[in-house]
Amino acid sequence: MRAKALLVRLMAFALAAGGAAPAGAQPSDAAIKAAFITKFPAFVQGLPDGAPLNVCIVGPDSFGSAIERSAAVRVVVRRLAVVTPTSGCHVVYATGGARQSVRDALAIVAGAPVLTITDGGAGPTRGMIHFVVAGERVRFHVDTLQASRSHLQLSSKLLALALSVRQ
CA of 52: how far to CAs of 48, 93, 128, in Å? 11, 16, 21
Question: What secondary structure letter does DSSP report for 48?
Answer: P
Q: Roughly how many angstroms between the first and final C-alpha of the chain, as a whole number?
A: 37
- Candidates 36-44, 61-69, 90-98, 105-113: pick the segment binding another protein (CB under 8 A): 36-44
- Candidates 15-23, 92-100, 111-119, 154-162: pick the segment binding another protein (CB under 8 A): 154-162
| C-alpha dihedral (123, 17, 71, 156), degrees to nearest 10 | -60
- Candidates 88-96, 111-119, 132-140, 142-150: pick the segment binding another protein (CB under 8 A): 132-140
Beta carbon nearer to another protein, 41 or 59 = 41
Binding site for another protein (CB under 8 A): 3-4, 7, 32, 36, 39, 41-45, 72-73, 137-138, 140, 155, 157-158, 160-161
